[in-house]
Amino acid sequence: MKLAKNLISILFLLWTVKSQAPPQRAQSVAKHRIQVQALPYIPPPSISPDEKGNQIPDFSNVGYREGAVPLPVVPVKIILEPSTDHTVDDRQRIQDAIDKVGQLPMSPLLLRDGKTKIQVRGAVLLKAGVYRVNGTLILNQSGVVLRGEGNHGPDGPDGVEGVGTVIVATGKYVHDFIYINGLLNSKQGTPESILSNRNYRDGGGESGGSIKDLRPKNYYRRKIKRAIPLADEYIPSGSLRIPVKDITNFQPGTEIIVERLAKQAWMDMIGMGRFAAQPGTFPTTLSWETIQFNFRYFRKVTRVEKMLSDQSSNPPQTSNPLPPPSPPSPPPPPLTSPNLGDTSKAPLRRRRVPNLLPLVESNSEPRIQQTRHRRRLSRRGLFDPDGFFDTSSLPARESTPYSGDDNWSDNIPDGDNDFADDDDEEDMPRGDRPSEPDDPAWVPGYLHLNIPTVMDMDPTYGPGEVFPFEYKIAIPSDIGVENIALYSVFDRTVTNSESNPLEDENHAWFAVVVDHCENCWVADVRTRYFVSGINLAPASKHVTVQDCEITEPISTARDGGRRYMYLIKGQMGLVKRCFASDARHDFITGAKTRGPNVFVDSTGIRANNDAGPHNRWSMGTLYDNIHSRNLNVRNRGWIGAGQGWCGVNHVIYRCSTDVKSRFQSPPGGSNWVIGFEGALGDQMFEFEGRDATMIDIDSSMPRSLYWAQLVKRLGGTEAIAVDVEGWVGVAGKNKYPPKGSVTTTS
């Protein structure tokens, strides 16, 4: 303890000596503009469904234990002090502590709401000071928390003294820094393991940063041989009750996967069956393969309802009778390619796409700011992790650069492997397969779901089916990383003089990757100089990211796959009260991301590209009180070798941007924009599509759709809003996280 304090004073001395100017915040932008989140309670606006009956879903079940449960304050079991010797690598020491706590028995913990009881093992507390980690830290056991004593870092917020806890990622090679992932073994985090497995990290932005080659392909299995088809009728998005052909295998509480199978007719209807490639490259077309677009949604059955014998079909789920589904849109215009057959089969390669938003053209102000800011950053020794943390004994740039560049492609059909199961016939478009005959023993009925559908299902374009499942490898829960600053070293000699002086990429990429787990959190984590930020990967669900700050990424800003600050590819993810600077994409979902997912009350500044659903049809994202430089929900055409339609059932609620943003709805579905503040239009490229449903805000509408839906789901009274505010709102945040080791128990 004393040692740590001494170290801190020494470090302080060091900065004072090194820095010419007094340390100052890189940003003075207000990050948490919202002082009260759930209050006063104003019910969600009632927005009528679209012409097919699709309605804005209830997004409120996202996040840690469905969003209304305070994050647990897990008792400390192991306390580590920083090393006094800055040449010592702390990875093994910290990993051993994590693994040791992972061996402890579970004990019950009552959360601050006074009702939720969970099982936890304990926290590893890193006392204030600087730790150095060469490699990756892995948390794979339920109920284990990695906690620091403050995230202010060496250049802490105004008026705060001390470094808090800083972990420096010292590895000068491509890697992700902290994994929460129940499929990984901590041995996989050693630098040797990372360096000898070029596929260790097989993807940045788009392919999710998951460790595919080192984990089993099929991690869950169906509990019944044949998936049960949904009834042969149109089932709109936003439904909490779905008609199925057989209810026999379902009870309240059954964990199910609802799957929507893609048909070629759907691809053609949305214009993604074949579409034009980037003009001026080579004559070709792009296409989406149906086999990559079967969507699996994790849900739970809350009630099973038998169909009355005279109910031949699904009664309408809304109070208004549903009109029949509208006819399909006309087929896309014929394409000019002379050579369809070949090119549609050729693997799509990653192609450099010019930066969508060249800062000069659209708005010169941010660029000037950024350049100044970068200059400041390079001038100040304080901001040089190499200098400051004295890594002079480390080798310079790794001589073998990461060679997996091809695998950064946008085109890896990620998610499919993750969600494959034993019975899949991978080589066959499943939605177009002739359906097996119905079983006469089936008992038709309805399943009530805990979380609404976020995509319509229907026999013509995308039939649905459902099955109970179980994990082959237990999915861990209640893992957290909290109250810590993470810094990455980088090589400051790798520069691009033009606009962006610091472009080294041989260092840590994502600061935190969360995958194969549920009900986990990343809270009060502040990162600097990583390539990207926090990644909720495809096999994560119900993860909360709150009060985090991801600033000053070091990488090129001109290429894709980098500077994804808050990336959600999993399900039921929640990002709230977060901040980012200098992103490419500050708040973003990946290809085929299946919602609901929510970004709320968060700000990004100086992004080099846009926020929003990014790529290849994601579903059910709420952007609520988000400010970003640019936010789009649109057809993205050939961008990124065929990002195409970014998807459906997205809601933009009271968001604002600095530059023109474009909101569109795809054929056959709707996106909603409510109370947008900013200019509308295409920032650079325009692709065909009708406008999204634009709704003006009026004074009867709540400040935030997410918070209004959450309070409504729990009962919709002012008293409940007060509880919610105290558990998970700003007031709840002020009681969390623990500021020190106050919760230590033996």
Ligand X SMILES: *[C@@H]1O[C@H](CO)[C@@H](O)[C@H](O)[C@H]1NC(C)=O
Q: Which of 129, 148, 191, 570 binds ligand X (CB under 6 A)?
A: 191
Which CB atom, from 198 or from 241, has the smaller least distance to ligand X? 198
Q: Which of 6, 48, 199, 339 binds ligand X (CB under 6 A)?
A: 199
CB 574 within 8 A of CB 545: yes
Q: Which class for 298: exposed (0-12), middle (13-18), buried (19 or more C-beta within 10 A)?
A: buried
Query: What are the distances in angstroms from CA 27 to CA 78, 139, 157, 551, 712?
Result: 35, 32, 10, 9, 36
Which CB atom, from 184 or from 673, has the smaller least distance to ligand X? 184
Q: Which two tokens stand for residue 371?
A: 């350049």
Which CB atom, from 450 or from 540, has the smaller least distance to ligand X? 540
Q: Which of 63, 75, 143, 171 binds ligand X (CB under 6 A)?
A: 171
Which CB atom, from 476 or from 595, has the smaller least distance to ligand X? 476
Query: What are the distances in angstroms from CA 61 to CA 99, 111, 300, 497, 630?
Result: 31, 18, 12, 46, 27
Least distance CB 426 / ligand X (angstroms): 14
Smallest Cα–Cα separation from 77: which of 178, 150, 145?
Answer: 145
Which CB atom, from 404 or from 716, has the smaller least distance to ligand X? 404
Smallest Cα–Cα separation from 743: which of 122, 64, 81, 94?
Answer: 122
Residues from 79 through 98 that contact ligand X (CB under 6 A):
89
Residues from 394 through 453 that contact ligand X (CB under 6 A):
394-395, 403-404, 406-407
Which CB atom, from 371 or from 407, has the smaller least distance to ligand X? 407
Least distance CB 199 / ligand X (angstroms): 5
Sign of CA dihedral 470, 473, 476, 481: negative
In order, the DSSP letters of 674-716 are ES-BS-BS-SS-----EEPEEE---TTS-S-HHHHHHHHHHT-
**Rounded distance, CA 190 to CA 103, Å?**
20
Amino acid at 464: G
Least distance CB 138 / ligand X (angstroms): 7
Which CB atom, from 169 or from 451, has the smaller least distance to ligand X? 169
Which region, judged by CB under 6 A, interacts with ligand X, from 41-49, 182-190, 421-429, 455-463? 182-190
Least distance CB 395 / ligand X (angstroms): 5
**Rounded distance, CA 574 to CA 333, Å?**
39
Least distance CB 292 / ligand X (angstroms): 15
Which region, judged by CB under 6 A, interacts with ligand X, from 154-162, 189-197, 459-467, 554-562? 189-197
Which region, judged by CB under 6 A, interacts with ligand X, from 183-191, 585-593, 637-645, 733-741? 183-191
Sign of CA dihedral 334, 336, 340, 344: negative
Least distance CB 641 / ligand X (angstroms): 16
Least distance CB 186 / ligand X (angstroms): 3
Least distance CB 177 / ligand X (angstroms): 13
* 255 lies in the site for ligand X, by CB under 6 A: no
Q: Which of 19, 55, 142, 170 binds ligand X (CB under 6 A)?
A: 170
All residues at 6 or more sequence positions from 144 whose CB lies less than 8 Å from its CB, including other chains: 98, 101, 102, 120, 121, 122, 123, 124, 479
Q: Which two tokens stand for residue 531?
A: 């390539």
Which CB atom, from 170 or from 709, has the smaller least distance to ligand X? 170
Q: Tell me, what DSSP letter sits at residue 293?
A: G
* 186 lies in the site for ligand X, by CB under 6 A: yes
Give, rounded to a whole angstrom, the gap between the first and last alpha carbons of the chain.
Answer: 18
Which region, judged by CB under 6 A, interacts with ligand X, from 177-185, 329-337, 435-443, 721-729? 177-185
**Rounded distance, CA 512 to CA 175, Å?**
11
Residues from 98 through 157 that contact ligand X (CB under 6 A):
99, 134, 140
Smallest Cα–Cα separation from 628: which of 596, 659, 589?
Answer: 659
**What is the total count of residues that contact ligand X (CB under 6 A)?**
23
Least distance CB 202 / ligand X (angstroms): 6
**Rounded distance, CA 566 to CA 388, Å?**
27
Which region, judged by CB under 6 A, interacts with ligand X, from 6-14, 188-196, 544-552, 727-735? 188-196
Q: Which of 32, 198, 222, 373 binds ligand X (CB under 6 A)?
A: 198
In order, the DSSP letters of 222-238 are ESSSSPEEBPSS-B-TT
Which CB atom, from 37 or from 519, has the smaller least distance to ligand X? 519
Least distance CB 575 / ligand X (angstroms): 27
In order, the DSSP letters of 354-419 are --SS-HHHH-HHHHHHHHHHHHHHHH-GGG-HHHHTT-TTS-SS-SS----GGGG-TTS-TTTTTT
Which CB atom, from 99 or from 113, has the smaller least distance to ligand X? 99
Which CB atom, from 106 or from 195, has the smaller least distance to ligand X? 195
Q: Which two tokens stand for residue 239?
A: 């439904």
Q: Which two tokens stand for residue 571?
A: 């399900």
HEC letters along 180-215 = EECCCCHHHHCHHHHHHCCCCCCCCCCCCCCCHHHC
Residues from 454 through 513 that contact ligand X (CB under 6 A):
473
Least distance CB 404 / ligand X (angstroms): 4
Q: What share of the chain is helix, strand, coil (3-state, %, to 5)?
A: 15, 25, 55
Least distance CB 187 / ligand X (angstroms): 6
Least distance CB 627 / ligand X (angstroms): 37
Which CB atom, from 387 or from 678, has the smaller least distance to ligand X? 387
Which region, judged by CB under 6 A, interacts with ligand X, from 184-192, 331-339, 460-468, 518-526? 184-192
Which region, judged by CB under 6 A, interacts with ligand X, from 195-203, 295-303, 478-486, 671-679? 195-203
Orientation angle between helical segments 718-728 and 705-714, nearest 10 degrees: 120
- Chain residues binding ligand X by CB under 6 A are 89, 99, 134, 140, 170-171, 182-186, 191-192, 195, 198-199, 394-395, 403-404, 406-407, 473
